Amino acid sequence: MKFLWLGLLLLFTFDVAAKQARVALILMGQTHEYWHALRAGANDVAKRQELQLLNMDPLYENQSDSQEGLVYRAVEMGVDGIVIAPSDSLMLQESLKYAMEKDVQVVLVDSGLSINSDIPVIATDNFAAGQEMAKLIKSENVAGGKVVILGLPTKVASTLARVEGLVSELKGHATIARHHLDLLSIGEAFRVLEQIESDLLTADVVFACNESSTKAMLSWYDSRPNVTPKLYGFDMAPTILAALKSRELNAVAVQDPYTMGEKAVTHLHSMLHPHPHGQELKLEGMSPPFYLVTPKLLESQSYDKRLSRYLKTTH
């Protein structure tokens, strides 16, 4: 009798596992704090919703071809859904179209594609974030200065949007110089900075539009102690938080990747389990907030509790 019950329990366990939806999570890379936080949010929801989440990220953010291959691999594995942060808004269009033709549900997270599509996107309003950063730069700096933008993107839609927002707000206020650092490693970015040193030394403001370029710029300033930084960055990490506290960084625009990961997997779960009465899925409220964090804000500790949670994870 004991063995009979054990056999029934095993059959039940296998039956539940067989019915558990499988979702591939394909982020841009594994090396940044931002992706660690997004993955944590996605995994927490997957556990609550009893989804089997397969983490399939490439190692580095500049491996767009790896992402494309991972999409095809996920489809071949028979996944029910894919949550992906596209590192190339053009290259992934065909592979994602193929996935949807195979009845795989797809949600884009952090960044969209370069064309309008019906694929839902869970992402920060990066254009608005760029605009708000520009307003802060204008309030803290004299008009007519020189702003150097690091990380002008060619592939990532979200980064392009934040640069466009910044430039639209600074138009007529400052001279703008742009340099390409997008998706480079910190070491590679640092070598590019050395090549554009003359531009950096004459800049009134430097805006680094992602985590790697912000870290690289902080390293560049550390190697030149006689240069006074006027640096504005994007995204949070322990070194960036320390630079804010020591006032080496004027401000940083911080997204909420944990909430982004939660919302992306929650929305995919809703797509896999549609409302019985056919109610249309709504994306209202699915765009996570962003925050402009300054040394003064950190000292006051008057920030949102969600930002507080994220700051704790980056210590």
Q: Is 279 among the domain residues?
A: no
Q: Is 204 among the domain residues?
A: yes
Q: Are residues 65 and 151 in the same domain?
A: no
Q: Is 208 among the domain residues?
A: yes
- When pLDDT is cut at 50, 70 and 90, the band that residue 248 belongs to is very high
Q: Are residues 199 and 113 in the same domain?
A: no
Q: Are residues 55 and 83 in the same domain?
A: yes
Domain total in the chain: 2
Average pLDDT in the 105-120 region? 88
Residue numbers of the domain that contains 102? 14-123+257-272
pLDDT in tens, 170-207: 988 899 998 887 556 677 777 888 889 999 999 999 99
pTM for the model stands at 0.85
Q: Is 227 among the domain residues?
A: yes
**CATH code for the domain of 18:** 3.40.50.2300
Q: Are residues 21 and 104 in the same domain?
A: yes
- When pLDDT is cut at 50, 70 and 90, the band that residue 11 belongs to is very low
Q: Are residues 207 and 268 in the same domain?
A: no
Out of 109-118, 164-173, 306-315, least confident range = 306-315
CA end-to-end span of the chain, whole Å? 54
Q: Are residues 295 and 152 in the same domain?
A: yes
280: three-class secondary structure by DSSP: coil
pLDDT in tens, 53-95: 999 987 766 666 789 999 999 999 999 999 999 988 888 899 9
Q: Are residues 133 and 201 in the same domain?
A: yes
Q: Is 2 among the domain residues?
A: no
Q: Is 6 among the domain residues?
A: no
Amino acid at the residue 1:
M
With residues binned 3-state (H G I as helix, E B as strand, rest as coil), the percentages for the chain, rounded to 5, are 50, 15, 40
Q: Are residues 149 and 21 in the same domain?
A: no
Q: Are residues 134 and 240 in the same domain?
A: yes
Q: Are residues 227 and 97 in the same domain?
A: no
Q: Are residues 98 and 137 in the same domain?
A: no
Q: Is 8 among the domain residues?
A: no
Asked whether 127 and 111 are in contact (CB, 8 A), the reply is: no
Cα–Cα distances in angstroms (integers) from residue 283 to residues 48, 90, 280, 286, in the given order: 21, 23, 10, 5
The enclosing H or E element of 244 equals helix 238-245
Sign, CA torsion 163/169/170/172: positive
Residue 83's pLDDT is what?
A: 97
Q: Is 115 among the domain residues?
A: yes
